[in-house]
Amino acid sequence: MSSEFVERLDYCWQQDKFVCVGLDPDLAKIPQILKDRDPDSVEDLVFRFNQEIVDATHDLVCAYKPNSAFYEALGAQGLSALARTVRHIKDNYPDVSVIFDGKRGDIGNTNQGYVHAAFDELGAHAATVNPYFGAMFFDDAGQSQFEALKPFLERKDKGIIALCRTSNKSAGEFQDLPIDLTQISSGYRKKFGEMEELRELVGQNTLPLYQIVAYRVSKYWNTNGNCALVVGAPYPEELAQTRRISGMPFLVPGVGAQQADVRATVEAGMDGRTRGMIVNSSRGIIFASNGSDFAFAARQATEHLSQDINKYRTNL
């Protein structure tokens, strides 16, 4: 089973499109030529910038990923620019996915609000979520039950992309915390399920927390075939370990401005079909130039990254 989001991705992967452009509009970096054109409206400025980037790169990518922080920081005008950007992509380039990068997650009705905002109001095809709140447990009768992130996971048509091993330098503070699977209590196993399969899969007893996240999302959360994982490119060894555990799609940030090695990323992260990756670059593409040629420069940067990805794919 796979969601409409995964099917849309697979359509792009079949055309050798793996790049995701992060639409993160920093006002200080938007080219002056656009500021001169729209001097009075932040909404128009941000939308025009995004529009030109999208129009210049749409035939090279599998997705766009607007990070909510850049729009929320601009208030109502920023959120309006985000909504216009999503509509522009969906109306003009329907085969390309929009990933709302808000890293949402909470409990109860709060998640209902997050789901409605991201999918029904904004119209995104996928959203990033924080797995810390959990999603699944077994009740006293041994039946699996979903809560917390349930409103996200129930959206069968959408992609739910859980943070797993992020690309920032301090990520390991919690994500690398070693967990001894042999010391997990019977109470935990009864309530949340066995992980003996994971021990057999990796061939060791002690694993970092991020690998347990990858396993649980794959085995227990992905009942609708709509889940994916965020796994950062700067850590190819961790990327490879996560791929051993999960065949789900990976959203892979850290290529470009964070200078991850594209070859190591591709070799570590591609699945058995040499697909399965959404390789994100934000600043390295959208701010490739701050001159009047910014859209053309963005296309060149996207094309270069796409060519590198596919060059290394052919050797797998």
Per-residue pLDDT tens over the stretch 5-36: 999 999 999 999 999 999 999 999 999 999 99
Is the residue at 261 inside a domain? yes
Is the residue at 98 inside a domain? yes
pLDDT value at position 289?
97
What per-residue string of b and e applies to 223-242 under the rule 16 or more CB within 10 Å gives b? ebebbbbbbbbbbbebbebb
Query: In angstroms, how far is CA 88 from the centroid of its own chain?
Result: 20
Domain span at residue 73 reads 4-136+149-175+226-313
CATH of the domain at 290: 3.20.20.70
Domain count, the chain: 1
Mean pLDDT, residues 60-65 taken together: 98
Is the residue at 40 inside a domain? yes
Distance CA(293)–CA(286), nearest Å, equals 11
Distance CA(162)–CA(231), nearest Å, equals 9
**DSSP codes, 36-102:** HHSSS-HHHHHHHHHHHHHHHHGGGEEEEEEBHHHHHTTHHHHHHHHHHHHHHHHHH-TTSEEEEEE
Q: Which residue has the tokens 């849309």?
A: 8
- Residues labelled as active-site residues: 103
Mean pLDDT, residues 35-48 taken together: 90
Is the residue at 15 inside a domain? yes
pLDDT in tens, 130-179: 999 999 999 999 999 999 999 999 999 999 999 999 988 899 999 999 99
pLDDT value at position 40?
82
Query: CB of 248 within 8 A of CB of 218?
Result: yes
pLDDT in tens, 223-256: 999 999 999 988 899 999 999 999 999 999 988 6
Residue 215 has pLDDT above 80, yes or no: yes
Is the residue at 182 inside a domain? no
pLDDT value at position 257?
53
Looking only at the bridges linking them, the beta strands covering 178-180 and 206-208 are antiparallel
Is the residue at 34 inside a domain? yes
Is the residue at 196 inside a domain? no
pLDDT value at position 256?
63
Residues whose CB falls within 8 Å of the CB of residue 197, separated by 6 or more in sequence, listed in order: 215, 219
Is the residue at 214 inside a domain? no
Crossing angle of helices 42-57/75-92, nearest 10°?
Answer: 30
